[in-house]
Amino acid sequence: MKKNKVVAVVSGGPDSIGYAAYWKHKGYEIHPLIFHYGHKGSKEVQVAQDLCKKLGFRDPIFIDLSDLKQLWRGTQLTDDQIKVEKEYAPTVVVPIRNAVFLTIAAAYAFTIQAKYVIYGAHLDDNTPNPKTLEPIYPDCSPEFQEALEAALNIGHFRAARGLQIWSPAREGLRKSENLKRTYKIIGDLIYETWSCYLSGQHHCGQCESCINRHKAFTEAGIPDGTIYKKYPGLGDWDTAVKYRGGYISAKYIEPRAKNREKP
């Protein structure tokens, strides 16, 4: 039987990679798209490619949007003049980035007759900004996804409509809940995903994305096996040990070291 196709926007991060792995696990054929948009965290592009292979997705298609860097000025992720911050600030949002990616993904989905387009938005991206009560990442909201889905279907022939856009957010899942489900499916490969907004040898451990990654592992009750340049410890109980030129959670490494000592 022919497998149903899914077009997956993947970044190399645990949210999108994990969500695509979940759909593969459900029996779908995954057609990944990887975007380069001139961002500082472009190391994730290589990570995404490697993980697509290891997880048995179809060969990914690279979409080079690096020229968009010229348009997306003043955001932390694409503008060299703007520093990547430790905590959320609206300047981290690349305006309607997901609308751009999902529209391109939908163009591909209509072409190859895939019914689903998926991406990694989750409920924490929808945390209300305390001042405006808007989602902190507006193009991650389920409402946005439903509206875009409707518009894209209306933009194509009636007989070909029926495209759906799915994400952990639309399923009502938080980052840690998606992570937990992903870990059950892909195991230790989860540590090979890349969250950092920069492209160093290890995760920096200081940007908003590194901190959210570490928090999500902690909330999910999964020992964090990520190597950080500077450990994003959440309290006195959250200690790290030196490892391969960086730091790794003691909770991850110590039990494994003990297991190795056993004959």
Residues that bind Zn ion in the complex, under the rule CB under 5 A: 196, 204, 207, 210
Closest distance between Zn ion and the C-beta of residue 205, in Å?
6
Q: How far apart are CA 252 and CA 139, in angstroms?
A: 34
> Tokens 């697509």 sit at which residue?
52
Closest distance between Zn ion and the C-beta of residue 86, in Å? 9
Q: Which residues pair with 165 in a beta bridge?
A: 117
Residue number with CB closer to Zn ion (116 or 247): 247
Nearer to Zn ion, 121 or 196 (CB): 196
State whether the Cα torsion 99-5-217-189 is positive or negative. negative
User: In whole angstroms, how close is the CB of 12 to Zn ion at the nearest point?
Assistant: 13
Which residue lies nearer to Zn ion by CB, 11 or 141? 11
Minimum distance between the CB of residue 203 and Zn ion, rounded to whole angstroms?
A: 5
- How would DSSP label each residue in 156-184? S-GGG---EEE-HHHHT--HHHHHHHHHH
CB of 188 to Zn ion, least distance (A): 21
Compare residues 65 and 196 and give the one whose CB is closer to Zn ion: 196
Backbone angles phi, psi at 69, to 5 degrees: -55, -35
In angstroms, the first-to-last Cα distance of the chain is: 47
DSSP-based helix, strand, coil % in the chain, nearest 5:
45, 15, 40
Closest listed residue to residue 23, CA positions, set 125, 91, 120: 120
Which residue's CB is nearer to Zn ion, number 32 or number 232? Answer: 232
Residue 209 CB, shortest distance to Zn ion, in Å, is 6
Give whichever of 145 and 212 is closer to Zn ion, judged by the CB atom: 212
Torsion of CA 156, 162, 167, 172, to 10 degrees: 130
